[in-house]
Amino acid sequence: MKENNNFNILALVDIATADLVRAAVESVGGCSLVVDGGESAIQTVQNGDIVDLVLLDPNAVSMATADGIAFLKAACPTCEIALLLGDHDITMDVELMRMGAYDSLPSPPSKAELVLLISGLMEKNEMERENRAMVEALGQGRAQTIISHSPEMEKVLSMAARAAKSDSTVLITGESGTGKELVARAIHLAGPRKHKAFVPVNIAALQENLIESELFGHVKGAFTGAMADRTGRFALADGGTLFIDEIGEVPSGIQVKLLRVLQFGSFERVGENAPHESDVRIIAATNRDLEAEVRAGRFRADLYYRVNVVPVSLPALRDHRGDIPYLVEYFIKKYSSKNRKPVKGITAEAMSRIMRYPFPGNVRELENVLERGVVLCRGEYLTETDIFLPTDDPREDNSMPTLSGGYDEVMGGFEKEFLSRVLERNAHNKSAAARELGINERRLRYRLKVLSLE
Ligand SMILES: Nc1ncnc2c1ncn2[C@@H]1O[C@H](COP(=O)(O)OP(=O)(O)O)[C@@H](O)[C@H]1O
Ligand SMILES: [Mg+2]
């Protein structure tokens, strides 16, 4: 059993079942199969040969079930084990799954059940392989990776990995801080344009009257302040990838121009009538529900369909909490090495505090909390006192703005207090705060400026 690119199955079953397995394997294709009931099978596993699936009928090969699983898991940690169980064993199912069995089928199984099991596992293997390749592409030459251990994230990465291979437009959705930009870079680096530029542009961070020129460029004298020609992002990204962050914030007048580039690859600089061409792959991101924006008439339906070719939707951190311990470990390593501090880990109490917190600011908020923790930490382990999380109960904070003075002064006091709390809750991430407030980020920034909170 040596073929590395095949799906390798080892069947420890009796002769009658072996025929069934053979038939199933033939109809799936792409698998190699070793059927064995005896000692040499055990050798195969112990030799470290690549086995992807072990079909184990404990009654046929005199392996007591629990011991059999323990032995196989120790000899071959990456292989999956499916048990063929008689009626009398079925009650043990849950326990066996907990010990690391992947699935169980009745003994003897039907061919259809076997086909389903094998093809399902082959798909899962392929997905994990692609995900690893994409994440490795991101890590090459830079200290960046995507932490993903939960099924929710694996699914997302699988979509992204498939998207990466093509040149199609990708729309990444997800709350602020969920890793949209990180995934966008990974898609670019794992795709056909990896040696060309990745040009990001964040629409929410731009003043409205500058968006068009930022995207398409302008000619000297196109508007007041246009002192010289300027190359836009579309031209800069020619041959590569343009990452349009917060595409939901593109004003309607510019949406139609964006649609035109996406359709025909041509655009005009501000203040000029000559068309320019650009060959770009578009990856767009938004923390808005674009479909709802379309229904509300704020986003063009035709542009939405052009952009939403391959949708990749990142889960909020609270919906894949299983990744938190891995992210914590990763960020502690990252910031202890960056700050040259000998922080090795985190205490159980501090970890449990983190696990209970909802993280409205998602991974970005978690990262900020840990960076701060590492900087403050005096020992080898982060303790509860190093972990600053906003209180979950706003009533604990009873500071009240003053109620006397002029109208503007009092209302301004309220607004200031309100906005600072929302910002605090969102780890000072303005787009997350704006979303919680139901206003756009530009408006929030404007209010912060007016209230001199920035
Ligand atoms: N799965 C992840 N693994 C490692 N780091 C992550 C992950 N998701 C997000 N991050 C980090 O969190 C921060 C926010 O991610 P970013 O991609 O900017 O989020 P978004 O664009 O959705 O607001 C970045 O520093 C990013 O590297
Ligand atoms: Mg972002």
Give the pLDDT confidence of 242-299 residue by residue, as tens digits.
999 999 999 999 999 999 999 999 999 999 999 999 999 999 999 999 999 999 999 9
Residue 390 binned pLDDT confidence (cut-offs 50, 70, 90): confident
pLDDT at 21 over 80: yes
Please answer whether residues 82 and 54 qualify as being in contact, where contact means their C-beta atoms are separated by less than 8 angstroms. yes
CA distances from 66 to 12, 78, 81, 121 (A): 15, 18, 12, 22
Question: Does the C-beta of 174 come closer than 6 Å to ligand 1?
Answer: yes
Bond before 192 cis per omega within 30 degrees: no
Neighbours of 236 (CB within 10 A): 15
> Which ligand 1 atom minimizes the distance to the CA of 183?
17
The preferred substitution site among 135, 173, 182, 286 for testing ligand 1, maximizing ligand atoms within 8 Å of CB, is 182
- Per the listing, tokens 């390593």 go with 333
Percent of the chain with pLDDT over 70: 92
Q: Token pair of 353, please?
A: 């505090």
* Spatial separation of the C-alpha atoms in residues 92 and 18, rounded to whole Å: 24
Rg (CA), the chain: 28
Please tell me the number of the ligand nearest to residue 317's CA: 1
CA distances from 193 to 129, 136, 259 (A): 21, 16, 22
What is the 8-class DSSP label of residue 270? Answer: B
Q: Token pair of 437, please?
A: 């407030």
Q: What is the pLDDT at residue 197?
A: 93
CA distances from 413 to 163, 382, 417 (A): 48, 36, 6
Domains of the chain, earliest start first:
7-123 (3.40.50.2300), 151-313 (3.40.50.300), 322-386 (1.10.8.60), 394-450 (1.10.10)
What is the average per-residue pLDDT within 139-162? 85
Question: Does the C-beta of 269 come closer than 6 Å to ligand 1?
Answer: no
φ, ψ for residue 75, nearest 5 deg: -75, -30
Q: What is the pLDDT at residue 156?
A: 92
Please answer whether residues 75 and 81 qualify as being in contact, where contact means their C-beta atoms are separated by less than 8 angstroms. no
Protein residue with its CA nearest to atom 8 in ligand 1: 179
Give the angle subtended at the CA of 128 by the CAs of 357 and 29, to the nearest 5°.
145
What is the average per-residue pLDDT within 213-219? 96
* Spatial separation of the C-alpha atoms in residues 358 and 365, rounded to whole Å: 10
Protein residue with its CA nearest to atom 13 in ligand 1: 364
Please answer whether residues 417 and 399 qualify as being in contact, where contact means their C-beta atoms are separated by less than 8 angstroms. yes
What is the average per-residue pLDDT within 323-335? 92
At 184, which amino acid appears? Answer: A
pTM: 0.68
Distance from the CA of 256 to the center of ligand 2, in angstroms?
Answer: 24
Task: Give the contacts of 298 (CB within 8 A, at least 6 positions apart).
Answer: 252
Please answer whether residues 96 and 120 qualify as being in contact, where contact means their C-beta atoms are separated by less than 8 angstroms. no
φ, ψ for residue 119, nearest 5 deg: -70, -35
Task: Give the contacts of 208 (CB within 8 A, at least 6 positions apart).
Answer: 251, 442
**For residue 323, which of 362, 294, 376 has the smallest C-alpha distance?**
362
What is the average per-residue pLDDT within 40-64? 80
Please answer whether residues 370 and 339 qualify as being in contact, where contact means their C-beta atoms are separated by less than 8 angstroms. no
Distance from the CA of 232 to the center of ligand 2, in angstroms?
Answer: 20
What is the 8-class DSSP label of residue 86? Answer: -
pLDDT at 78 over 50: yes
Residue 184 binned pLDDT confidence (cut-offs 50, 70, 90): very high
At 267, which amino acid appears? Answer: F
Q: Which residues pair with 199 in a beta bridge?
A: 242
DSSP symbols for 307-332:
H-SEEEEPPPGGG-GGGHHHHHHHHH
* Spatial separation of the C-alpha atoms in residues 136 and 128, rounded to whole Å: 12
φ, ψ for residue 243, nearest 5 deg: -100, 110
CA distances from 12 to 37, 68, 93, 246, 444 (A): 5, 11, 18, 54, 64
**For residue 443, which of 407, 419, 409, 411 has the smallest C-alpha distance?**
419
Question: Does the C-beta of 179 come closer than 6 Å to ligand 1?
Answer: yes
pLDDT at 2 over 50: no
Distance from the CA of 262 to the center of ligand 1, in angstroms?
Answer: 27
pLDDT at 392 over 70: no
Q: What is the pLDDT at residue 379?
A: 92
**For residue 242, which of 279, 300, 283 has the smallest C-alpha distance?**
283
> Which ligand 1 atom minimizes the distance to the CA of 148?
1
